[in-house]
Amino acid sequence: MAVRFTTGLPAAAGLVLPCCSRCGRVNYPPRELCGACLADSLVWQGVDNIGMVQACTDLHYSLEPDYADHLPWRIASVVLACGPVVLAHLQPGVPEGTEVAVRIVEDRDGNRMLAASDPHQAGAAAEWLARIQFKECSS
């Protein structure tokens, strides 16, 4: 399989998002102009990757054949301490209302996406990523 999603995320360790060098707003989803001040001043920068799970769902039905073989698949909406709401793959067993760390990961086809895991269970998080054949990116 080839890369099929254009998420715009760079191959970087931790969490790197478009930040406005004029007003400081962290923007997500990625866009070309800052959503707050409309300046053409967005730069991909490392941000605080801690967030709070607002809501989560286990997908039992997918329109994408690649996911269909791995259902149910857990997705969360996470409010990052640095501002934006992101959707992310969520480590199993992590409920809403808990703190998570969000990182850029790459699936086996090279699609870069966001994954949220419990920062206090590094071992379990690594095991989860290995099981679904996702790997953390390195800068």
Partner 1 sequence: MSTPGSYAGIALVAPVSLGYTKASEHSASWYIGSVLRELIAAAGIAKADVDGLAVSSFSLAPDSASFLTQHYDMTLRYIEQLPFGGASGILALRRASRAVQHGDADIVACIGGDTAQPGSFRELAADFSTFSNSASYPYGGGGPNTAFALITQHYMKRHGATREDFGRIAVSQRYNARHYPAALLGDKPLSLEDYLSARVISTPLHLFDCVMPCAGGEGFLLMREERARSLGLRYVTVLAADERHNAFPDDPVQLRGGWPQFADSLYAAAGIAAQEIDLLQTYDDYPVISLLQMEGLGFCEPGEGPAFVRDTALTFDGGGLPHNTSGGQLSVGQAGSAAGYLGVVESIRQLTGTAGANQVTEARHAMVSGYGMINYDRGLCSAAAILARGGS
Task: Count the site residues for partner 1 by CB under 8 A.
Answer: 36
In the bound complex, what is the minimum distance in angstroms from residue 125's beta carbon to partner 1? 17
Q: Cα torsion at 87, 113, 27, 96 (round to 10°)?
A: 30
Segment contacting partner 1 by CB under 8 A, of 26-34, 40-48, 117-125, 130-138: 26-34
At residue 131, the 3 state secondary structure works out as helix
Rounded to the nearest whole angstrom, what is the least distance from the CB of residue 114 to partner 1 in the complex? 8
Quickly list H helices, 1-139.
65-68, 122-131
Whole-number Å distance between alpha carbons of 134 and 67: 13
Identify the residue among 8, 24, 46, 93 touching partner 1 (CB under 8 A): 8
Residue 137 near residue 104 (C-beta atoms within 8 A):
yes
Among 49, 91, 98, 111, contact with partner 1 (rule: CB under 8 A): 111
Binding site for partner 1 (CB under 8 A): 5-8, 28-31, 54-64, 66-67, 72-73, 75-77, 79, 85-89, 96, 111, 113-114
